[in-house]
Amino acid sequence: MFRLLTHMSFALLVVASAHANERALRDPTQPLSVANASAPVGPVLHSVLLSDTRKVAIINGETLHEGDKLTAMPQWQVNKIEPGKVILSGPEGSQTLKLIDTQGVRKR
């Protein structure tokens, strides 16, 4: 009887451990909506950096200048970088990418 209880306890421990490992795969610091959200389909503007001597846009994590093509999407080319937005040209014509919050945009 004691041996049977020991084997059952061990089996229960293995099952509980496997279940705990399955739950540990999700990052607990991310909100559920972020974990379940799908990745954006097209180019996403993350930042615009402007000065008197340079214009830089960060699109999909890549640093780009006017005239550059996106590495991951070479059909898109950066035409113009302006405060809070970037104008791209591609197979579907022109597309404007905008920053979500342009209230804090200022020229240095």
- Report DSSP letters for 18-76, one per residue: HHHHHHTTS-TTS-HHHHHPPPPSS--EEEEEE-SS-EEEEETTEEE-TT-B-SS-TT-
48 DSSP β-pair partners = 57
The domains of the chain are located at 2-36, 45-98
Burial class (CB in 10 A: 0-12, 13-18, 19+), 7: exposed
Instruction: Indicate the DSSP class of residue 4.
Output: H
Q: pLDDT value at position 30? A: 67
The model scores a pTM over 0.85: no
State the pLDDT confidence band at 8, using cuts at 50, 70 and 90.
low
58 DSSP β-pair partners = 47, 63
Q: 72: how many CB neighbours lie within 10 A of its CB?
A: 11
**pLDDT (tens digit per residue) in 17-69:** 655 555 556 666 766 665 555 556 789 999 999 999 999 999 999 999 999 99
**pLDDT (tens digit per residue) in 69-88:** 999 899 999 999 999 999 99
Q: pLDDT value at position 42? A: 82
What whole-number distance in Å separates Cα of residue 12 and Cα of residue 5? 10
Q: pLDDT value at position 96? A: 95
What whole-number distance in Å separates Cα of residue 47 and Cα of residue 102? 10
